[in-house]
């Protein structure tokens, strides 16, 4: 399978815990995006990488969120001290130029 | 600012046509269309670029009016598999980062 993969697919955590998600993009894609989607809404942009450089971060993203893309390959998104409002589907997408292809997402539930 | 999609929901019979609209208040570099089924990731359908270039599926067509910052997605001879929620994602001009702002979605239900 050469599509975008994300792990884990589901994560249940208690409020205050830290969580980390991983995204493996399509291998030749140099652009990688993280989005968050809540029920009944469209995906919301979180951050964007071109190769290993994080070029843009949403102003809505609190300091509890951090993302990395070491060596321009896979990416991780970490949420520290999770809150119930962080419960959502976290989507990763990759692109070589125009079309963005989404992974299956990680569904986070914060209890 | 989030683009506005209309209608919010559509119910069709198989074989009928539908048009979904997406409107932005900002100058756009590109408009992207996705379909999402319940519990699944958004699936790329079409991209329309400033200047007229289009890339997407053969059976789906769309238009992009750059002056009005509007795009429309045309679904013809609908099939049951077309059911889902359709999102437009807009990229502001002159950005070329690919950062997309998505609309609230249009739910399409195709009945036999």
User: Whole-angstrom Cα distance, residue B63 to residue B87?
Assistant: 15
Question: Is A56 in contact with B43 (Cβ distance < 8 A)?
Answer: no
Closest-CA residue of B relative to A106 is: B41
Task: Supply the pLDDT for residue B49.
Answer: 86
Residues of B in contact with A42 (CB under 8 A): 2, 87, 89, 102-105
Task: Supply the pLDDT for residue A111.
Answer: 96
**Mean pLDDT computed over B16-43:** 93
**Mean pLDDT computed over B63-78:** 91
> Taking a C-beta distance cutoff of 8 angstroms, is the pair A3, A103 a contact?
yes
**Mean pLDDT computed over B75-83:** 93
Q: How many CB pairs under 8 A join A and B?
A: 58
* Residue in A33, A43, A105 nearest the CB of B98: A33
Higher pLDDT, B53 or B100: B100
Residue B48, min C-alpha distance to chain A (Å)? 10
Q: Which two tokens stand for residue A65?
A: 């969120």
Q: Mean pLDDT score of chain A, rounded to an integer?
A: 94
Least confident of A14-23, A74-83, B93-102: B93-102
Task: Supply the pLDDT for residue B71.
Answer: 94
| Strand, helix or coil for residue B36 | strand
**Mean pLDDT computed over A39-64:** 92
Question: Is A100 in contact with B44 (Cβ distance < 8 A)?
Answer: yes
> Taking a C-beta distance cutoff of 8 angstroms, is the pair B99, B91 a contact?
yes
User: Is it the case that residue A1 has pLDDT exceeding 60?
Assistant: no
**Mean pLDDT computed over A94-106:** 92
Interface test with A, best of B22, B32, B33, B42 (most A CBs within 10 A): B42
| Preceding omega of B36 cis (within 30 degrees of 0) | no
CB-based contacts of B73, cutoff 8 Å, min separation 6:
B19, B20, B21, B22, B33, B45, B46, B60, B61, B62, B86, B88
* Residue in B41, B47, B101 nearest the CB of A98: B47
Residue A107, min C-alpha distance to chain B (Å)? 10
User: Is it the case that residue B98 has pLDDT exceeding 90?
Assistant: no
Q: Mean pLDDT score of chain B, rounded to an integer?
A: 91
Half-sphere exposure for B79 (CA within 13 Å, toward CB): 3
Task: Supply the pLDDT for residue B11.
Answer: 97
User: Is it the case that residue A61 has pLDDT exceeding 60?
Assistant: yes
* Residue in B44, B102, B105 nearest the CB of A99: B44
Confidence class for position A90, pLDDT limits 50, 70, 90 = very high
Confidence class for position B51, pLDDT limits 50, 70, 90 = confident
A57/B contact by beta carbon, under 8 A: no
Higher pLDDT, A23 or B56: A23
A25/B contact by beta carbon, under 8 A: no
Task: Supply the pLDDT for residue B108.
Answer: 97
């Amino acid at each position: 399978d050469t599509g975008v993969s994300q792990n884990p697919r589901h994560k249940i955590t208690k409020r205050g815990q830290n969580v980390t998600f991983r995204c493996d993009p399509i291998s030749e894609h140099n652009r990688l995006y993280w989005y968050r989607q809540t029920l009944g809404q469209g995906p919301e942009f979180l951050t964007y990488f071109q190769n290993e450089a994080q070029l843009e971060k949403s102003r809505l993203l609190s300091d509890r969120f951090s993302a990395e893309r070491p060596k321009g390959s896979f990416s991780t998104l970490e949420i520290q001290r999770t809150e119930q409002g962080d419960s959502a589907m976290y989507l990763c997408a990759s692109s070589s130029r125009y079309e963005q292809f989404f992974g299956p997402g990680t569904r986070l539930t914060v209890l | 600012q989030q683009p506005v999609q209309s209608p919010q929901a559509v119910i069709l019979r198989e074989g009928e046509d539908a048009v979904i609209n997406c409107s932005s208040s900002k100058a756009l570099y590109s408009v992207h269309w996705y379909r999402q089924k319940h519990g699944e990731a958004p699936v790329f359908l079409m991209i329309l670029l400033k200047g007229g270039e289009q890339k997407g599926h053969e059976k789906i067509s769309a238009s992009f009016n750059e002056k009005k910052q509007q795009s429309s997605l045309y679904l013809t001879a609908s099939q049951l598999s077309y059911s889902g929620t359709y999102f437009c994602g807009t990229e502001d001009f002159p950005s070329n980062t690919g950062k997309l702002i998505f609309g609230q979605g249009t739910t399409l239900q195709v009945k036999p």
